[in-house]
């Protein structure tokens, strides 16, 4: 909805995105392994003991970097033989930086499915903390969209 609100995409695209998120949540839930693999966390659930605020900031920055890369590579119907490579390498970089800190989310589906699966097994810590990763991912994506739109406005069609 944030993307539609700032005019980056239309309402139809947002509704498609909402459907995509719902299906993604189901897929993430179905694909998670028992034992906490893939769960995000802060404080005691983080390997570095990162605070909630620290985790929120890390996830905003990492999501923003990743989404800005995607927007930059795919904007205005641009095609590049290296687009997929650039996006993939950026995602790898984001995970290399974030896994030791929070487990790296950059995607609400990536956090919610494993947290829900852990709650089913009796460990609710990840589900109690998942809101940070959902809202930080959404905030990071909205920030990336705003930055990208600002650059497009400033530089015109060359951005």
pLDDT (tens digit per residue) in 114-128: 888 888 878 788 888
Higher per-residue confidence, 21 vs 135? 135
Q: Whole-prediction pTM value?
A: 0.73
Higher per-residue confidence, 38 vs 122? 122
Query: With 70 as the cut, is the pLDDT of residue 105 above it?
Result: yes
Looking at 1-124, list the stretches that DSSP marks H as alpha helix, in order from N- to C-terminal side.
2-5, 11-31, 52-74, 83-98, 108-120
Angle at 111 between CA 23 and CA 38, to 5 degrees: 110
Q: Are 69 and 147 in contact (CB under 8 A)?
A: no
DSSP conformation class of 118: H
Q: Is residue 86 packed enough to be buried (19+ CB in 10 Å), middle (13-18) or exposed (0-12)? A: middle
The arithmetic mean of pLDDT across residues 82-94, rounded, is 91
Structural domains for the chain: 2-158 (1.20.1080.10)
């Amino acid at each position: 909805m944030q993307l539609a609100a700032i005019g980056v995409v239309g309402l139809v695209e947002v509704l498609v995105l909402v459907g995509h998120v719902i299906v993604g949540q189901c897929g993430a839930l179905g694909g998670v392994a028992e034992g906490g693999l893939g769960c995000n966390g802060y404080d005691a659930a983080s390997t570095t003991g990162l605070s909630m605020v620290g985790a929120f900031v890390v996830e905003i920055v990492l999501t923003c970097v990743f989404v800005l890369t995607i927007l930059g590579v795919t904007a205005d119907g641009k095609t590049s033989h290296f687009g997929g490579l650039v996006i993939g390498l950026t995602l790898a970089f984001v995970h290399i930086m974030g896994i030791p800190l929070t487990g790296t989310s950059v995607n609400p589906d990536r956090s919610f499915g494993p947290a829900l699966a852990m709650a089913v097994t009796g460990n609710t810590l990840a589900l109690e903390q998942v809101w940070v990763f959902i809202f930080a991912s959404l905030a990071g994506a909205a920030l990336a969209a705003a930055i990208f739109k600002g650059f497009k406005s400033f530089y015109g069609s060359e951005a």
